[in-house]
Amino acid sequence: MLVEEQENQMSEIEADALTAEVVAQYLKDHPDFFAQRPELIDRLSMPHADLGTVSLVHIQMNRQRQRIEELEEEITTLMSLAANNDRTFYEFMDLQGQILKCGDFKQVIKAIELKAKDLGLRAYVRLLSQCDASTQLSKENYQRFATNHLNGKEAYLGRLRKVDREALFGNMDVPEMGSYVVLPLVKKQTLGVLAFSSEEGGHFQPDMDTLFLRHLSLVVAHLAQTLVWQSHHDDNSQHSSAN
């Protein structure tokens, strides 16, 4: 007898669950159901943690208000990003104009470093084939970094582990807890990397758009192949200032 009662109870529970699923599916398939039966809306209510039992209309209005607030926040964020991107666009366009006027590649690096400083960042140009030790990047270190972090991607954005920072920048003073963007310099073959760092750990994030930086890296790669490392004029200027 007890077994039969338990079985009946289980059957009722399963039937209720099935009925609830059928109702839920019906409402999904007929979103205008309550529009045709507005008198039901006032009779429906749901428990609320803070307000007790509230009507479906109240819940719907609250959700609409929340969605409006979310949309307003999204619009504010997008406007902020647009303003920032607009500034970034003009800053990097200005930088490209500057470096295209440079007479040697050391001037190019100096211009990039100064622009980065104006933006609250640090810039690094590291080359695979260069006699100047200050910009030298070993092919082994680059290949290891590219395999682990680039893997066919056009840029790496985010934090860098100590081993990666040392591989790319050697003993240079770089942010330990900051964030980085690293772009390969490619002109038929890989020439090195162009990198920027920020003291803020969340400044460079993987989902950021790198269009402006990728275009800059193309220009820098072109200049790395076409410009001399240091012009004779700069050599003479250094000797004159030293005397």
Residue recorded with tokens 């006032």: 42
Alpha-carbon dihedral 49, 50, 56, 60, rounded to 10 degrees: -110
Distance CA 66, CA 32 (A): 22
| Start-to-end Cα distance in the chain | 112
The pLDDT assigned to 33 comes to 72
Residues 83, 85, 180: CA angle, nearest 5 degrees:
130
Both tokens assigned to 174: 């770089």
Quick count: other Cβ atoms within 10 Å of Cβ 4?
A: 8
Give me the pLDDT at residue 28, please.
Answer: 80
Structure tokens at 232: 């004779």
The mean per-residue pLDDT over the stretch 136-147 comes to 92
pLDDT, tens digit, for every residue of 99-117? Answer: 999 989 999 999 999 999 9
The string of pLDDT tens digits covering residues 38-49 is: 676 666 665 655
Residue 3, CA distances (Å) to 6, 16, 34 in order: 5, 20, 42
Q: pLDDT: is 21 or 16 the higher one? A: 21
Closest to 44 in 3D by CA, of 29, 54, 36: 54
Nearest CA among 66, 50, 26, 181 for reference residue 119: 181
- Give CA angle at 196 (191, 198), nearest 5°: 160
pLDDT digits (tens, 9 = 90+) for 67-88: 677 767 766 665 665 566 667 7
With bands split at pLDDT 50, 70 and 90, how would you rate the model's confidence at 243?
A: very low
> In Å, what is the CA distance from 185 to each residue of 95, 181, 200?
17, 13, 25
Please say whether the dihedral angle defined by the alpha carbons of residues 16, 17, 23 and 24, taken in this order, is positive or negative.
Answer: positive
Residue 55's pLDDT is 63
Give the model's pLDDT for residue 10: 47
How far apart are the C-alpha atoms of 87 and 75, rounded to whole Å?
18
Residue 238 has pLDDT above 70, yes or no: no
For residues 134-149, give the mean pLDDT.
Answer: 90
Average pLDDT, the chain: 78
Q: Which helix (H) or strand (E) holds 38?
A: helix 38-41
Q: Which domains does the chain have, with CATH numbers?
A: 90-235 (3.30.450.40)
How far apart are the C-alpha atoms of 99 and 109, rounded to whole Å? 8
Provide the pLDDT for residue 229.
83
